[in-house]
Structure 1
Amino acid sequence: MFNVFIKGLVKWKKVIAAATVFLILAVMLINSIRYEKTSSINNKGFDVLTQVSMIGSKIRNKFMSDSTDSELEKLKEENRSLREQLIKNTMQEEEVQELTNLKNALKFVTDKTASDFISADIVARNDGNYYNSFTISAGSDNGVKSDSIVVNGDGLIGRVYQVSQKYSKAISIIDSRFPVSFQIIGRSSDTGMLSQDVSITQIEDASLIKGYMFDVNSPVKIDDIVTTSGLGLYPAGIPIGKIQQIIPDEQNILKYIVVKPYVNFKKLDKVMVFNKKDL
């Protein structure tokens, strides 16, 4: 009887153990299913949140981009405005300087020696670095004539050689076609001729003017100021430049000089034109 009881107890323990294992497996299976469902839901939720975040980022970036573009455009406009104002101010300063320059040109001539003062712009020029020849915005309608004299506030520029109704052509004193007689300021008896035709081979700077003294014994020196002498076409006293170099003639026939002109022949804008009065 006791043995039968023991056998039954063992049998029930096996059943209970099997049931327990089954129950544990069932619970694990259920948890697994729940995890998969929850994971799926979480994944879907994550996808949705990610898309929302991406859309938000795009909106934010678009807003920031629009804001940045707007600020950039505003800065560009301010920069453009400042640049235009700077150019305007610079042009006004240049115009004032040009007018002052032309006013200074009036000091070189008087009503006794000149007439028909005409201001003009240079509208065209020759090829090259220097203004050897150029066209001005004044012609016969303005009173310009052939051989009218061209100056600016620095001194003598040249003369007119061709005239139309609205425009005129001129050559400058650095052109080989332009000889001009000069005197040394303060010593009117020391005179000579300036011409680029003078054969001083060692002078290569095209902006310098070659010349010679009429008297080989003239006591000229470096930095002597050279002006028009009044002989020929030009009235006396128009500044030309300073003597930069003195070159003795090997045969002692002439005394050569090199003059640095006051006028900057690389940069010419406005000029004054006048006609010499017949005295």
Structure 2
Amino acid sequence: MLEFLKEHRKKIVIIFLVVVLIRFINLVGRDRDYNKFEGLVIDLLRPGFVVVNSIQDFSKGTLRVILDYKSVKEENEELKDKIEKLNYSLRQIEKIMLENHRLRESLNFKKYAPYKVVGGTVIGHSADNWSNILVIDRGSKSGIRRKMPVVAKGGYLLGITQQVTAHTAQILLINDGNFVAGGLVQRKDSRNLGVVKGQTQESRLLMNNLSWDADIGIGDTIVTSGSQYYPKGLPIGKVISVSPDNYGLTQSALIAPFIDVRKVEEVLVITDFSTKVDLLEPLNSNHQLEGERE
């Protein structure tokens, strides 16, 4: 027994002190006077009370930090979600505002061009490098057929419809190598005619078959000359250079299109232009303003 006590005396002393500490901690807060022995022991154990109290305060503080962190994290997640939703709403509002602006420009075209038109949104582009085609979300159900002229904002010629399904239509763009349209120098003292062709690998159009003495120069506006497929006066582009062609028997002109086909998002398909309205006069003042802004 003595050997056991000697061997485990440190553990026994610690257990005794813990028991005593617990016993006297339980005395704290009781509504009675301590006897001398209890008062002496409590005074001796005061440092222990301080340590226990510090441990309790630390535990409470740590628990509070953990709980607060969890609460703050949840609030941050909620705020992030709200911010993301607000950003999405702002992006949608900006998109709607831009669409409204483009639609207003399209409506301006409808005001001075009394044609039947169908509006469409671009939903696809050609996947190869040998053709320039757009796909829109309107088709035969909306009155669109093959070989109908298509314009973009401002009434600029964009192309002509090609393949048409019930709900989609392909548009052959003016810069495609297969695109051909009759062109006319808009200037009143010229009015020379030529043929405008697309160039697949270029962002420019070529106007040839101009007579050798055609009055055409840099800065002239080229519009459609009118045919069974195009009304007269749709703006195509501006002349940026003129050169002799076919050993000087004719001339050719390089034209910069008014519209960047890569940035088109909404279009108007002209489904009927049987009114035969000449757009040259109203378009003339319109393009002068456009040129001034550029």
Which residue in 2 is equivalent to 1:160? 161
Alignment size in residue pairs: 233
Deviations 1:142-171 (A, max 9, x none): 211110111122311111122222222220
Partners of 1:76 and 1:131 in 2: CA distance: 45
1:214 and 2:222 aligned: no
Give me the whole-angstrom Cα distance separating, in 2, the residues matched to 1:104 and 1:186.
23
Number of the residue aligned with 1:88: 92
Distance in 2, matches of 1:68 and 1:128, equals: 53
Higher relative contact order (Cα pairs below 8 Å, separated by 6+ residues):
1
Q: What is the aligned counterpart of 2:250 among 251, 254, 257?
A: 254
Identical-residue share of aligned pairs (%):
21
Alignment equivalent of 2:224, drawn from 228, 236, 239: 228
In structure 2, list runs of 5 or more residues that go unmatched: 1-40, 277-294
Q: Which runs of 5+ in 1 are unaligned?
A: 1-36, 198-203
Partner of residue 195, structure 2: 193
Using structure 1 for the length normalisation, give the TM-score.
0.71
Tell me which moved more, 263-272 or 252-261.
Answer: 252-261
In structure 2, what is the Cα distance between the partners aligned to 1:221 and 1:232? 28
Farther-moved stretch of structure 1 (212-221 vs 152-161):
212-221
**Contact 2:147–2:161 (CA<8 Å) still a contact in 1?**
yes
Q: Name the larger-Rg structure.
A: 1
Question: Are the aligned partners of 1:248 and 1:256 in contact in 2 as well (CA < 8 Å)?
Answer: yes
- From the superposition, tell whether residues 128 and 262 of structure 1 become closer, same or farther in structure 2 (CA, over 3 Å): farther
Task: Name the amino acid aligned to 1:141.
Answer: K
2:132 maps to 132
TM-score, with length taken from structure 2: 0.68
Match of 1:72 in 2: 76
CA 1:74/1:277 → structure 2, altered by over 3 Å: closer, same or farther?
A: closer
**SS, match of residue 214 in structure 1:** strand
Mapped contact 1:131–1:266 kept (Cα < 8 A) = no
- 2:150 is matched with which residue? 150
Q: Quick one: structure 1 residues 140 and 106, their matched pair in 2 at CA, closer, same or farther if it must change by over 3 Å?
A: same
What pairs with 1:91-110 in structure 2 (closer than 5 Å)?
Answer: 91-106=95-110, 109-110=113-114
In 1, the alpha carbon distance for the partners of 2:62 and 2:226 equals 83
Shift of 1:63: 3.9
Q: Distance in 2 between matches of 1:79 and 1:277?
A: 49
Amino acid at match of 2:238: K
Counterpart position of 1:24: none
Distance 1:196 1:148, change over 3 A: closer
Q: Which runs of 4+ in 1 moved over 4 A?
A: 40-47, 128-131, 276-279
Aligned partner letter, 2:169: S
How far did residue 127 of structure 1 move? 2.4
CA drift at 1:131? 8.4
Residue 51 (structure 1) aligned with residue 52 (structure 2): no
User: How far 1:236 sits from its partner (Å)?
Assistant: 0.6
SS of equivalent residue, structure 1 residue 120: strand
- Name the structure 1 match of 2:120: 120
Measure the CA separation in 1 of the matches of 2:186 and 2:78.
60
Q: Residue 175 of structure 2 contacts residue 205 of structure 2 at CA under 8 Å; is this kept in 1?
A: yes
Deviation at 1:43, TM superposition (A): 6.8
Q: CA, structure 1 residues 85+237, in 2 after alignment: closer, same or farther (shift >3 Å)?
A: same
